[in-house]
């Protein structure tokens, strides 16, 4: 930019546009890098080959690039031992985060240490943790699309359209963005930074709970000014949120619909109307998400850690860009304050400090006007009396409203040139920022400035059953919860900004200004008006001017001589100790113009330092090649000498080896001659021995043959005699055999005749055997009959036996009875006799002459006789019965005998029959034999 022929706004714009058209999105203005968002991927600009190219290349030597800025910062830190910072600025969606990622990638590449196996380096962790911060920290805004929202069935979630907190942008998908891929990248990044799977689950539960909270709507309750979940759907979301946060659903409902006010005397429960309940719901969702995000940042920072050994740092600052919307609230106020602060830092560095230094160093210099924003910063953060101070005051005063706060602002800043009151509004105010006017709506300023968690929300979440949720909301000590009633977000933000700027001031800054070429977020569209506004806001035009008119680079005399003395070494040879004179001399010799010599430093125009550096590099390069040449020749000579020595040694060894080989050949030749001689002798002797042996063998063979002929003749003669005798024997034998055959034939005929006779007789016998068979069958039948009769007899006899036994038993019992009767009668008789005797004794003296009752005696005798007759008849009967019994015994014995006879007959018949059968079989066999 500084080399443009016409350095005015149209020229700068045209330059940016024509470069943008050919995808040259980066441009330098002095040391500032302007990056125009291409809204499309340009991978060739960022591959590892590009990184390798920028490594160590002089600034300005290659095309403008964030890698070049990172490389310059890195080298300055290493060489000059000064901490560096790279400030990436620009409005929302201009590409700050993308540029920051590139810077981090390059720095990780430069400082890259080899990772120990299984672990990651800090650089890798920093890069890999990015997706977590982006996933949870980015949101889709009207100016930037880069948000992601997770959706998982497990957490009872549906399409983003169904969630109040997601559906207000009406944008659910982004072209070219694979949600699931991003989700897995986030999960992986969480693993990398050491968030375990339980914690991950809890994190997604909390996010889902926030979404469900957002869907709870409220309707008027039964009580006056009370509220209750509107319908079943709201109740479902309330229950699901409670379930995901693992807290009591009723307690959640109460914490949203009621407030407990503690006064000195009593505790009052106050209902919230539906609108206030919705505000309470949003506050709860916000505080939960905010605590979750803080937890993530802390966890990532702890996991990455910082090298305690490091003395210098390179800070890369990616901070939200200037914002101006239709409605601007406290968030925009804080964001714009940050941008004002950074702008001031930029001004200070680029203009103020620069020009102050020129004055201090007393160099010729025409002052460049720039817009100093100190008065805006005073308006916002001055203590007391600044907007933040007034806001804190208003927050602490219980009766304040946003209107009273606005009135206070109007009064205080009535005459401030950066502050105006919009005509038709009663509570808005406008600040004239360096980047343009922004009108803020004060409605929520007071609420948003109060940094506190609603006590009911705190109590609800501290009592959660999920340890992760309770860790986000640790129980506060009783006193602290009461005492710290109010803490101001604005003041905290201000002091954090101050700390940041202090850190920045201790570093050497580099600037990357990101520019958004269009508001449609589409590639290849360059809206000049928009871009110009951003260039103006970023102070780029002034920077260009100061770069052209000023002296952006400087060095103290000794540093300068140290660094560039080698460009004219003769100036150092002189005995002059005056550094200024040496510097002037040096500058004259190198032929530089337009520089300035200050009191302690040499000031150079834009590009001059680069020019000197290039020359220095050239000299260094030349020197390096001379040194290299010398070293190479020394090394080559050394290697040649050692090579020669080695060659001679090798030759000596080779020659020795060759001679040894020749001598060995000669020795072998002599030996082989000796061996040949001996061999020939051995062969000749063997041949002679063979010949001798053959002659003897032939002689032996001939003699043997003659002897064998004699022997053969004798054998033949003997064989002829044997044949003759055998022949004769054969003839005699033949004659004998014929005679024998005739005799046998005669005998056979005779025997045949006899046999036929015998056969005839046998046939007769066979016929008899048939009769015998019939007789046998008859006998068998008889045997069967007899067997049957015998069985019948046996049965009859058994019956008889039985009846006889019965009769015997009867007779025995009758006899028994009779014997009993007889005994009784006898006993009675005895008794009567005894009685008669006793009666006779009792009779008086007169009785001494016994008077016999004859009648009685006779009667008794008669009865006695009868009884005797009865006894004898009975005894007779018994005898008869016994006789009968014996007779029947005899009969049965006879029958038994008959049966035994019959049995023996049967056995006899059976043996006869068997014999007949054998006979028959023998006959049949003989018949067969004869037939055959
Ligand atoms: N160098 C680039 N190459 C390709 N695309 C880019 C580049 N820079 C930015 N973008 C595109 O622009 C979008 C917005 O960029 P980025 O998120 O970096 O903006 P930002 O300035 O950080 O915004 P905010 O202030 O809202 O965080 C990116 O999502 C990407 O699509």
Q: Please write the tens of the pLDDT for every residue from 497-513.
A: 999 999 898 898 898 99
Cβ–Cβ < 8 Å for 216, 237:
yes
Q: What is the mean pLDDT of residues 570-582?
A: 76
Q: Tell me: do 175 and 276 sit in the same domain.
A: yes
Specify the DSSP element, H or E, that contains 85.
Answer: strand 84-89
Q: For residue 175, what pLDDT is reported?
A: 62
Cβ–Cβ < 8 Å for 523, 40:
yes
Q: Tell me: do 141 and 243 sit in the same domain.
A: yes
Ligand 1 proximity of 321 Cβ (cutoff 6 Å): yes
pLDDT of 70 over the 90 cut: yes
Q: Tell me: do 731 and 663 sit in the same domain.
A: no
Nearest to 546 by CA among 281, 311, 781, 353: 353
Q: What is the mean pLDDT of residues 184-201?
A: 83
Q: For residue 140, what pLDDT is reported?
A: 64
Q: Which residue has the higher pLDDT, 344 or 672?
A: 672
Q: What is the CATH number of the domain that holds 456?
A: 1.20.120.720
> Which residue has the CA at smallest separation from atom 31 of ligand 1?
39
C-alpha distances in angstroms, 656 versus 646, 666, 667? 16, 16, 17
pLDDT of 65 over the 90 cut: yes
For residue 247, the 8-state DSSP code is S
Within-domain flag for 559: yes
**Cβ neighbours of residue 24 closer than 8 Å, sequence gap 6 or more:** 63
Give residue 131 CA to ligand 1 midpoint distance, Å.
14
How many domains does the chain divide into? 4
Q: For residue 720, what pLDDT is reported?
A: 92
Ligand 1 proximity of 92 Cβ (cutoff 6 Å): yes
Ligand 1 proximity of 102 Cβ (cutoff 6 Å): no
Q: What is the mean pLDDT of residues 672-701?
A: 94
> Which residue has the CA at smallest separation from atom 8 of ligand 1?
95
Q: What are 366's two structure tokens?
A: 């025409």
Does 315 count as an annotated binding residue?
Answer: no
* CA dist., res. 292 & res. 454, Å (int): 17
The pLDDT confidence band at residue 357, using thresholds 50, 70 and 90, is confident
* CA dist., res. 270 & res. 272, Å (int): 7
> Which residue has the CA at smallest separation from atom 26 of ligand 1?
92
Give residue 97 CA to ligand 1 midpoint distance, Å.
6
Q: Tell me: do 635 and 671 sit in the same domain.
A: yes
Nearest to 445 by CA among 376, 521, 388, 517: 388
pLDDT of 847 over the 50 cut: no
Distance of CA 921 to the CA centre of its chain: 96
Does 249 count as an annotated binding residue?
Answer: no
Q: What is the mean pLDDT of residues 28-57?
A: 87
CA angle 240, 243, 245 (to 5 degrees): 110
Within-domain flag for 516: no
Specify the DSSP element, H or E, that contains 794.
Answer: helix 608-842
Q: What is the pTM of this model?
A: 0.57
The pLDDT confidence band at residue 139, using thresholds 50, 70 and 90, is low
Within-domain flag for 871: no
Mutational pocket test of ligand 1: of 27, 65, 89, 93, the residue with most ligand atoms within 8 Å of the beta carbon: 93
Ligand 1 proximity of 522 Cβ (cutoff 6 Å): no
Give residue 120 CA to ligand 1 midpoint distance, Å.
27
Q: What are 684's two structure tokens?
A: 């000749």
- Domain end: 441, 474, 507, which one? 474
Q: What is the mean pLDDT of the chain?
A: 83
Nearest to 387 by CA among 330, 305, 438: 330
Within-domain flag for 231: yes
Q: For residue 35, what pLDDT is reported?
A: 93
Q: Tell me: do 680 and 743 sit in the same domain.
A: no
Cβ–Cβ < 8 Å for 7, 43:
no
Give residue 43 CA to ligand 1 midpoint distance, Å.
14
Nearest to 154 by CA among 78, 107, 207, 109: 207
Ligand 1 proximity of 565 Cβ (cutoff 6 Å): no
Q: For residue 398, what pLDDT is reported?
A: 76
Ligand 1 proximity of 89 Cβ (cutoff 6 Å): no
Q: Tell me: do 586 and 635 sit in the same domain.
A: no
Q: For residue 298, what pLDDT is reported?
A: 87
CA angle 191, 197, 199 (to 5 degrees): 100
Q: What is the mean pLDDT of residues 593-606?
A: 83
DSSP secondary structure string for all residues of 797-859: HHHHHHHHHHHHHHHHHHHHHHHHHHHHHHHHHHHHHHHHHHHHHHS-GGGGS----HHHHHH
pLDDT of 822 over the 50 cut: yes
**Cβ neighbours of residue 646 closer than 8 Å, sequence gap 6 or more:** none
Nearest to 230 by CA among 219, 241, 238: 219
Cβ–Cβ < 8 Å for 292, 466:
no
Q: Tell me: do 687 and 571 sit in the same domain.
A: no
Does 430 count as an annotated binding residue?
Answer: no
Q: For residue 173, what pLDDT is reported?
A: 63
* CA dist., res. 315 & res. 104, Å (int): 10
DSSP secondary structure string for all residues of 517-534: --TT--TT---HHHHHHH
Q: Quick one: which atom of ligand 1 is closest to the CA of 514?
A: 21
Ligand 1 proximity of 320 Cβ (cutoff 6 Å): yes
Does 352 count as an annotated binding residue?
Answer: no
Ligand 1 proximity of 323 Cβ (cutoff 6 Å): no
pLDDT of 146 over the 60 cut: no
Q: What is the mean pLDDT of residues 22-45?
A: 88
Does 622 count as an annotated binding residue?
Answer: no
Give residue 98 CA to ligand 1 midpoint distance, Å.
5
Ligand 1 proximity of 146 Cβ (cutoff 6 Å): yes
Q: For residue 844, what pLDDT is reported?
A: 46
The pLDDT confidence band at residue 710, using thresholds 50, 70 and 90, is very high
pLDDT tens-digit series, residues 850-861 = 444 577 667 777
* CA dist., res. 70 & res. 26, Å (int): 14
Cβ–Cβ < 8 Å for 587, 602:
yes
Q: For residue 718, what pLDDT is reported?
A: 93
- Domain end: 672, 706, 740, which one? 706
* CA dist., res. 726 & res. 718, Å (int): 13
Q: Which residue has the higher pLDDT, 885 or 789?
A: 789
Q: For residue 133, what pLDDT is reported?
A: 76
Does 96 count as an annotated binding residue?
Answer: yes
Q: What is the mean pLDDT of residues 337-356?
A: 81
With a pLDDT cut of 70, the percent of the chain lying above it is: 89
Within-domain flag for 508: no
pLDDT tens-digit series, residues 231-241 = 888 888 888 88
The pLDDT confidence band at residue 846, using thresholds 50, 70 and 90, is very low
* CA dist., res. 857 & res. 854, Å (int): 5
Give residue 387 CA to ligand 1 midpoint distance, Å.
32
pLDDT tens-digit series, residues 215-253 = 888 888 887 788 888 888 888 888 888 888 898 888 888
Cβ–Cβ < 8 Å for 16, 27:
yes
- Domain end: 474, 507, 529, which one? 474
> Which residue has the CA at smallest separation from atom 15 of ligand 1?
95
Q: For residue 717, what pLDDT is reported?
A: 92
Q: Tell me: do 197 and 266 sit in the same domain.
A: yes
Mutational pocket test of ligand 1: of 97, 131, 145, 171, the residue with most ligand atoms within 8 Å of the beta carbon: 97
Q: What is the CATH number of the domain that holds 564?
A: 3.30.70
C-alpha distances in angstroms, 268 versus 116, 260, 264, 431, 454? 61, 6, 11, 42, 16
- Lowest-pLDDT range of 33-37, 705-709, 819-823: 819-823
* CA dist., res. 570 & res. 624, Å (int): 19
Q: For residue 474, what pLDDT is reported?
A: 81
Within-domain flag for 243: yes
Q: Tell me: do 292 and 261 sit in the same domain.
A: yes
Give residue 522 CA to ligand 1 midpoint distance, Å.
12
Q: Quick one: which atom of ligand 1 is closest to the CA of 25?
A: 1
pLDDT tens-digit series, residues 427-456 = 899 999 887 889 999 888 888 888 777 778
Q: For residue 368, what pLDDT is reported?
A: 66
Domain ranges, residue 742:
720-750
Within-domain flag for 158: yes
Q: For residue 143, what pLDDT is reported?
A: 59
Distance of CA 378 to the CA centre of its chain: 58
Facing residues of 667 across strands? none
Q: What is the mean pLDDT of residues 587-613?
A: 82
Cβ–Cβ < 8 Å for 344, 373:
yes
**Cβ neighbours of residue 216 closer than 8 Å, sequence gap 6 or more:** 229, 234, 237, 238, 241, 256, 281
Q: How far apart are the first and last CA of the chain?
A: 144
Give residue 99 CA to ligand 1 midpoint distance, Å.
8
Give residue 94 CA to ligand 1 midpoint distance, Å.
6
**Cβ neighbours of residue 853 closer than 8 Å, sequence gap 6 or more:** none
> What is the predicted ipTM?
0.98
Does 881 count as an annotated binding residue?
Answer: no
Q: Quick one: which atom of ligand 1 is closest to the CA of 98?
A: 18
Q: For residue 359, what pLDDT is reported?
A: 82
Within-domain flag for 281: yes
Q: For residue 484, what pLDDT is reported?
A: 45
Give residue 135 CA to ligand 1 midpoint distance, Å.
15
Q: Tell me: do 638 and 602 sit in the same domain.
A: no
Q: Tell me: do 598 and 727 sit in the same domain.
A: no
Give residue 516 CA to ligand 1 midpoint distance, Å.
9
Ligand 1 proximity of 144 Cβ (cutoff 6 Å): yes
Q: Tell me: do 735 and 660 sit in the same domain.
A: no
- Site of tokens 């005509």: 423
DSSP secondary structure string for all residues of 14-55: HHHHHHHHTT--EEEETTEEEEE--SS--GGGTSHHHHHHHT
Ligand 1 proximity of 253 Cβ (cutoff 6 Å): no
Does 179 count as an annotated binding residue?
Answer: no
pLDDT tens-digit series, residues 273-330 = 888 888 888 888 988 998 899 898 888 888 877 677 778 888 999 887 778 788 889 8
């Amino acid at each position: 930019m500084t080399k443009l022929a016409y350095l005015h706004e149209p020229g700068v714009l045209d330059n940016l546009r024509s470069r943008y058209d050919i995808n040259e999105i980066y441009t330098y203005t002095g040391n500032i890098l302007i990056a125009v968002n291409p809204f499309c991927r340009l991978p060739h600009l960022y591959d590892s080959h590009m990184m390798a190219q920028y490594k160590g290349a002089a600034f300005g030597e290659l095309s403008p690039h964030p890698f070049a800025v990172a490389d310059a910062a890195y080298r300055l830190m290493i060489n000059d031992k000064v901490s560096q910072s790279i400030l990436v600025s620009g409005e929302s969606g201009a590409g700050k985060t993308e540029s920051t990622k590139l810077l981090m990638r390059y720095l990780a590449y430069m400082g890259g240490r080899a990772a120990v196996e299984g672990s990651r380096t800090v650089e890798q962790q920093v890069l890999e943790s990015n997706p977590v911060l982006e996933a949870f920290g980015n949101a889709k805004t009207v100016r930037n699309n880069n948000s992601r929202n997770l959706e998982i069935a497990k957490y009872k979630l549906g399409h983003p359209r169904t969630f109040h907190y997601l559906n207000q942008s009406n944008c659910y998908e982004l072209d070219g963005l694979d949600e699931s891929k991003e989700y897995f990248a986030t999960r992986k990044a969480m693993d990398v930074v050491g968030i375990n799977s339980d914690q991950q689950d809890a994190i997604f539960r909390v996010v889902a709970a926030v979404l469900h909270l957002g869907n709870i709507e409220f309707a008027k309750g039964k009580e006056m000014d009370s509220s209750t979940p509107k319908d079943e759907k709201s109740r479902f979301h309330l229950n699901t949120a409670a379930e995901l946060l693992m807290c009591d659903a009723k307690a959640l409902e109460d914490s949203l619909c009621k407030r407990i006010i503690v006064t000195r005397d009593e505790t009052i429960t106050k209902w919230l109307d539906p609108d206030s309940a919705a505000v309470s719901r949003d506050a709860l969702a916000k505080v939960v998400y905010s605590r979750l995000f803080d937890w993530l940042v802390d966890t990532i920072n702890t996991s990455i850690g910082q090298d305690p050994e490091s003395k210098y740092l390179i800070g890369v600052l990616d901070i939200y860009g200037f914002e101006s919307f239709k409605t601007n609230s406290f968030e925009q106020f804080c964001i714009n304050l940050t941008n004002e602060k950074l702008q001031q830092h930029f001004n200070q560095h680029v203009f103020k400090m620069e020009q102050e230094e020129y004055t201090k160093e007393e160099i010729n210099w025409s002052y460049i006007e720039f817009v100093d924003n100190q008065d805006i910063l005073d308006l916002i953060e001055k203590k007391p009396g600044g907007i933040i101070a007034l806001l804190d005051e208003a927050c602490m005063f219980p009766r304040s409203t946003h209107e009273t706060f606005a009135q206070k602002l109007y009064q205080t800043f009535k005459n401030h040139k950066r502050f105006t009151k919009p005509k038709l509004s009663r509570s808005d105010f406008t600040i004239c920022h360096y980047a343009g006017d922004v009108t803020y709506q004060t409605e929520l300023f007071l609420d948003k400035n109060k940094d506190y968690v609603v006590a009911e929300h705190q109590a609800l979440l501290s009592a959660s059953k999920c340890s992760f949720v309770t860790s986000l909301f640790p129980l506060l000590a009783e006193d602290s919860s009461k005492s710290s009633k109010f803490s101001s977000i604005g003041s905290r933000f201000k002091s954090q900004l101050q700390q940041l700027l202090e850190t920045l001031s201790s570093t050497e800054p580099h600037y990357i200004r990101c520019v958004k070429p269009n508001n449609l977020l589409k590639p290849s569209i360059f809206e000049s008006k928009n871009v110009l506004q951003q260039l103006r806001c970023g102070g780029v035009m002034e920077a260009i001017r100061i770069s052209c008119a000023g002296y952006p680079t400087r060095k103290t005399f000794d540093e300068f001589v140290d660094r560039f003395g080698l460009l004219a070494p003769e100036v150092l040879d002189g005995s002059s100790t005056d550094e200024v004179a040496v510097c002037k001399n040096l500058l004259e010799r190198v032929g530089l113009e337009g520089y300035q010599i200050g009191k302690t430093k040499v000031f150079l125009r834009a590009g001059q330092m680069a020019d000197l550096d290039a020359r220095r590099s050239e000299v260094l390069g030349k020197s390096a090649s001379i040194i290299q040449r010398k070293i190479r020749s020394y090394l080559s000579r050394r290697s040649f000498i050692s090579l020669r020595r080695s060659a001679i040694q090798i030759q000596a060894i080779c020659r020795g080896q060759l001679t040894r080989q020749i001598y060995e050949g000669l020795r072998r030749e002599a030996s082989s001659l000796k061996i040949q001689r001996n061999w020939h002798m051995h062969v000749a002797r063997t041949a002679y021995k063979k010949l001798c042996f053959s002659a003897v063998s032939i002689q032996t063979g001939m003699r043997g043959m003659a002897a064998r002929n004699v022997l053969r003749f004798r054998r033949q003669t003997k064989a002829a005699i044997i044949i003759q005798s055998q022949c004769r024997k054969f003839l005699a034998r033949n004659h004998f055999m014929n005679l024998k055959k005739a005799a046998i034939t005669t005998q056979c005929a005779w025997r045949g005749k006899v046999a036929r006779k015998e056969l005839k007789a046998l046939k007769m016998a066979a016929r008899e055997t048939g009769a015998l068979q019939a007789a046998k069958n008859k006998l068998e039948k008889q045997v069967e009959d007899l067997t049957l009769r015998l069985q019948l007899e046996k049965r009859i006899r058994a019956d008889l036996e039985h009846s006889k036994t019965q009769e015997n038993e009867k007779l025995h019992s009758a006899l028994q009875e009779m014997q009993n009767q007889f005994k009784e009668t006898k006993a009675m008789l005895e008794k009567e006799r005894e009685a008669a005797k006793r009666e006779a004794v009792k009779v008086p003296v007169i009785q001494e002459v016994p008077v016999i009752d004859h009648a009685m005696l006779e009667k008794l005798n008669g009865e006695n006789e009868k009884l005797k007759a009865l006894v004898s008849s009975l005894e007779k009967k018994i005898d008869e019965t016994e006789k009968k019994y014996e007779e029947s015994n005899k009969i049965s014995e006879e029958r038994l005998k008959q049966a035994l006879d019959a049995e023996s007959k049967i056995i006899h018949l059976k043996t006869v029959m068997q014999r007949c059968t054998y006979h028959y079989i023998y006959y049949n066999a003989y018949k067969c034999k004869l037939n055959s």
